[in-house]
Amino acid sequence: MSDHATERPRYFDLLELAETSSDVLAFWLTGSRGKGRETAGSDYDCVLVVRDEAFDAWRARHAGRGVGRTDSSVMTLDHLRAHAAWGGPDAWDRYSYAHVRVLVDRTDGFCQQIINEKSCVPPAEVAGFIDRSLDHYINQTYRALKCMGQGLPSAAQLESSEGVAPLLDAIFALNGGRLRPFYKYLAWELADHPLSAGHALALRAPSLLEPRPRTLIGVLKETERLFRASGHAAVIDGWGEDLVWMRG
């Protein structure tokens, strides 16, 4: 058996430090282990939130990647608040907070509250986010069908593929502001946390990666039914005669 397989993960040392040091305000796991999806080969992705005055020393000593099967990041409460802010350059990382539970907490639940807020679309932003995502998806379908009509199958595939993310964004957000998962977790999310609206459509979304006219039109019609019934008809109707053409 290799040394890598038998070594004690550094995670356990960090957990012990978090449990015993008053410098640490909170500690949790992200990645597969943080979501309860670990395998025997999963690394430990740790986050330590420390007091402001302890940050420099803790970052210098404990932040690092790939040490003892453990990646660790050190931040302050202000860093945590700022990271993955909605509309910011690292908003794509909000899903990393989904299903995460704080393991050590000296903030009376405040860090868990921040994590929970980051793990979804802000309530005030949900409707607009769905509208923008839905419009983006329809635009990609329109472009894909145009490419097919011009005898450009590779271009059609690329255009259609770009519609997968916004379609899933819209479907997941329709379900209480949930975030589209990282693709490695998509099947698990749909199996273990089923969608109350659009579940079957989400399962069909990957078919857009290898599009045919019949597939594109079928997914479009199913999308139209779902989002008309959910109060987003204005976005769909905004496509006017182009929508009629896309329906076939």
Closest CA to 119 of 101, 99, 102, 98: 98
User: In this structure, are residues 83 and 117 in contact, taking their beta carbons and an 8 Å threshold?
Assistant: no
Q: What was the pLDDT predicted at 3?
A: 46
Which SS3 state, helix, strand or coil, does residue 100 take? coil
Q: What single letter denotes the amino acid at residue 148? A: M
User: Rounded to whole angstroms, how far apart are CA atoms 50 and 100?
Assistant: 18
Q: What single letter denotes the amino acid at residue 228? A: R
Q: What single letter denotes the amino acid at residue 60? A: A
Contacts of 244 (CB under 8 A, 6+ apart): none
Q: What was the pLDDT predicted at 40?
A: 84
Superfamily (CATH) of domain 3-118: Beta Polymerase, domain 2 (3.30.460.10)
Q: What single letter denotes the amino acid at residue 197? A: A
User: In this structure, are residues 198 and 175 in contact, taking their beta carbons and an 8 Å threshold?
Assistant: yes
CA 111, chain centre distance (Å) = 19
Tokens of 40: 């025997």
User: In this structure, are residues 76 and 61 in contact, taking their beta carbons and an 8 Å threshold?
Assistant: no
| pLDDT block averages, 10 residues each, the chain of length 248 | 61 96 98 92 95 98 84 97 98 98 98 98 99 99 98 98 99 99 97 98 97 97 99 99 96
Q: What was the pLDDT predicted at 39?
A: 87
Q: What was the pLDDT predicted at 6?
A: 56
| Domain ranges, ordered by start, for the chain | 3-118, 123-247
